[in-house]
Amino acid sequence: MNWRTTIGGVLLLAAIVSAWSAWRQRKPADVAAQDDAKTDYVLHDFELIALDKTTGKESLVLRAPEMHRNRADQTSDITTPLFLLPDNGGLQWTLRAQTGWLSPEGDELRLRGDVEGDSPVAPGVVPTTFRTQSLNVFPQQNLAKTADAVSMTRPGIMQAGVGFEANLKNKQYKLLSKVKTRYEPNAAR
């Protein structure tokens, strides 16, 4: 065996290793390109204000650190959203969650993971809070609902149940099943 054959073998082996390495480096770039192709745009640290189609009044405010709009179906995925939904007096309900989803027309919101809902803070308004793991909100209908377990508190009363519906406009709510209520009179506090 001469030295030319040895060098040729080493060069062939180096070429195979280089080609294999280049091929492996290329794969993640293709996946990233596919993910980018799915997204129309990305918003960072933003505030979005939506107006009602008929009255032109504010129907919801959304604040979040990040939102991705899906090119295919025009839905939006939101990271740690904060929604402000005005009631009929112009006061705003606050809804928070770990993730959110927004329909293309903005007529449905889906909040998932540690959902927190808090009533407006104002004189004459009874402070109300509710906690659940998922909540679907329909802003144009002023409706919020879930099939998951919910806990709700107001001064002097704590309620828990499975399933929940709330009319945010007229401030009516109902727990649908397995309801437990605990009253705490003012004297006991």
Per-residue pLDDT of the chain (189 residues; tens, 9 = 90+): 677 777 777 777 777 877 777 777 765 555 555 555 688 888 899 888 877 777 777 777 889 999 999 988 889 899 999 988 776 666 677 889 999 998 888 788 899 999 998 888 778 778 888 899 999 988 778 788 999 999 988 888 899 999 989 887 777 888 889 989 888 877 444
User: Which residues face 178 on adjacent strands?
Assistant: none
In a domain, 94, yes or no: yes
Strand 109-118 with 129-138, pairing: antiparallel
Domain range for residue 67?
40-188
In a domain, 154, yes or no: yes
How crowded is the C-beta side of 11, counted as CA atoms within 13 Å? 6
In a domain, 153, yes or no: yes
Nearest-CA neighbor of 111 among 160, 178, 166?
166
Confidence at residue 187, expressed as pLDDT on a 0 to 100 scale: 45
Q: Which residue has 């149940």 as its token pair? A: 161
Instruction: Give whole-number Cα distances, 31 to 1, 20, 34, 115, 147, in Å.
Output: 46, 18, 5, 32, 36
CB atoms within 10 A of CB 62: 23
How many domains does the structure of the chain reveal? 1
Token code pair at residue 172: 């009516």
DSSP percent split of the chain into helix, strand, coil, nearest 5 = 20, 50, 25
Q: Which residue has 């745009």 as its token pair? A: 41
Residue type, 32: A
In a domain, 99, yes or no: yes
In a domain, 180, yes or no: yes
Strand 58-70 with 76-79, pairing: antiparallel
In a domain, 27, yes or no: no
Confidence at residue 188, expressed as pLDDT on a 0 to 100 scale: 46
Asked if 59 and 50 count as a contact pair (C-beta separation under 8 A), the reply is yes
pTM equals 0.70
CATH number, residue 54? 2.60.450.10
φ/ψ of 19, rounded to 5, equals: -65, -45
In a domain, 86, yes or no: yes
Nearest-CA neighbor of 115 among 72, 76, 141, 148?
148
Confidence at residue 66, expressed as pLDDT on a 0 to 100 scale: 92
Asked if 136 and 109 count as a contact pair (C-beta separation under 8 A), the reply is yes
In a domain, 9, yes or no: no
